[in-house]
Structure formats: C-alpha cells, structure tokens
Amino acid sequence: MSDRDPQADAAADIRARIDTSTPHSARFWNYFVGGKDNYEKDRELGDHIKGIHPGLVDVARLSRQFLGRAVRHLATERGVRQFLDIGTGLPTADNTHEVAQRVAPDSRIVYVDNDPLVLAHARALLTSTPEGVTAYIDADLYDPKAILESASATLDLSKPVALMILNTLGHVADYQQARDLVSRLMAGLPSGSYLVISDSTATSDGMIAASNAYNKSGAIPYHVRSVEEIGGFFDGLDLVEPGVSQVTRWRPETEDATPVDAYGAVARKP
C-alpha cells in the first residue's frame, strides 16, 4: 500500500502549475480590486496600465458590483436557485454564492475555472450554507460539454440555471468562436434559464490603449469588443430591462452611475 496522500499530491500539482514569472489575468484583476492574491509581475503591470487608463480600476471594481446586483435580481425577483459561474477568478468579497445564498440559502452554485492559483484558493474559500451547495470544477471554457456534464453532479439541468460569464469572453480571440461557446452552453440549459455577461469594451481610446499594453505583457490576451458585439451574445434571448448597458447603469442602486468601459446584460432563455 502507498503512504502517499492524494490531497497533498493534488495540492503539490497545483503549486507546480502556478507561474509567477508573467502576469496573469485573475491576479491582475485581484490587484485592481484591492486583493492580496497577486505577485510582483501582476502589480507591475497593474501600475503600468493604471498610468495608461486609470478608468480600468473602476471597470474591475464596478463590474464586481454588477455581478452582485445581477445575482440579487435573479435570486430575489426571478426565483433562480442555480448558478453556473464560468471564469470564477480569485475569490474576493461578495462572490456569487455569498450573494445568492444571502437571499436564498438553498441556492446551488457551481464555479468553473482552470487556473491553478484560482483552484488553490477556491478549495479553501468557497463555502456554502447548510441548505445550499457550492461546488468547484476544474474545466475549460472551450469544452462546454465537459462543463455541463460536471456541473450536472451539483445542478439539476432540467430546471432553470443562471449562466454567469463575467470578464472572461474577452480571452477568446475569435468573436464567432466566443458566440458559439455561449450558444453551446445555453443549449444545455432549459427554458427559463438566464445568461449574465459583462466584459470590457472598446469604448474609449484609453481602454483600447490599455488593452494593447496588457496584450503585450505576456499574459493571456484579452480582446475588448464593441457594444454591438457584446449584445450579439444575447441573440435569441429575452433581455431583462434595461438591456445591454454600461455595468454601472444596469439597475443601479444609487444615482451615481460612473461611466465605465464595460457593458453587460441579463437575458432569459424563452
């Protein structure tokens, strides 16, 4: 018999996959929202980008608030109790499960990411209420079938699910491929399910310059798109008011809707 500890082996494998020599999107974003789970290269790039386009810090912070409002709306007003969050990123305050289970303790949430650092933190930090369930799967956005199969161990895919893909689709270089991935994921969910997307947009010279600088850094490139392209992800779905809008103007809770280079929407599958 072996004395090897499978959990220790898995943890060692995760640590071995973490590369701190180049910036990484999850750690870069974590730095912008004031987190501690980042490295020198991430902070160096963050400071450089802030010098080019300070507004990107607002995009990071305010996109997180959009997530909270969208989840609260779905859980409170639409009765959604299942969430599939792809491109989780590093856990911070008010993650999807925390927002949903605060409103509806029986909510079930599945997070999906394949970054080793995210994996390491998710296993330690993503907890659940006794009434609900929170699960994490190591899977790739480019494999919708595998995501849906793994998620079905926690979610009942015969009942409505809110598919969350926030600040992630920009990593898919080809727009038509990105749309196809979204379509394949939504095809596996029943009528009454919802799609929630937000992404940075090419809506200012500063954001375009920041995106170009980021893509030259060695990190996985992120492609900012037009507002019309963001809207295209929701074709065939019924948009929830106010439709595709700046993330700060989607059902804001205060009158201070700071303009940002990020758009999003929530839509229902008929």
pLDDT per residue as tens digits for the range 117-164: 777 777 666 789 999 999 999 999 999 999 999 999 999 999 999 999
> Looking at residue 183, what is its pLDDT?
98
Average pLDDT score over the chain? 88
Q: Name the percent of the chain lying above pLDDT 90.
A: 60
With residue 199 as reference, give the H or E element that holds it.
Answer: strand 194-200
Spatial CA neighbour of 85 closest among 33, 241, 74, 177: 74
Amino acid in position 172? V
Can you tell me the mean pLDDT for 79-107? 91
Q: Give the orientation angle of helix 55-77 with respect to helix 205-215, to 10 degrees.
A: 100
**Whether 53 contacts 77, CB under 8 Å:** no
pLDDT higher than 80, residue 34 = no
Tokens of 222: 């992120």
Residue 251 Ramachandran class (φ > 0 left, ψ -120 to 50 alpha, else beta)? left
Tokens of 182: 């979204």
For 184-220, how does the pLDDT look when each residue is reduced to its tens digit (9 = 90+)? 999 999 999 999 999 999 999 999 999 998 888 878 8
> Looking at residue 7, what is its pLDDT?
47
Tokens of 261: 């280079």
How many Cα atoms sit within 13 Å of 197 on the Cβ side? 29
pLDDT higher than 60, residue 262 = yes
Spatial CA neighbour of 246 closest among 209, 199, 210: 199
- Opening angle at CA 256, ends 62 and 81, nearest 5: 50
With residue 25 as reference, give the H or E element that holds it.
Answer: helix 25-32
pLDDT higher than 70, residue 25 = yes
**Whether 136 contacts 110, CB under 8 Å:** yes
| Beta-ladder partners of 225 | 201
> Looking at residue 14, what is its pLDDT?
56
> Looking at residue 28, what is its pLDDT?
73
> Looking at residue 18, what is its pLDDT?
66
pLDDT higher than 70, residue 3 = no
pLDDT higher than 60, residue 1 = no
For residues 226 and 25, the model is more confident at: 226
Q: How many CB atoms lie within 10 A of CB 255?
A: 5
* Confidence class for position 263, pLDDT limits 50, 70, 90: very high
> Looking at residue 13, what is its pLDDT?
59
Residue 21 Ramachandran class (φ > 0 left, ψ -120 to 50 alpha, else beta)? alpha
> Looking at residue 38, what is its pLDDT?
76
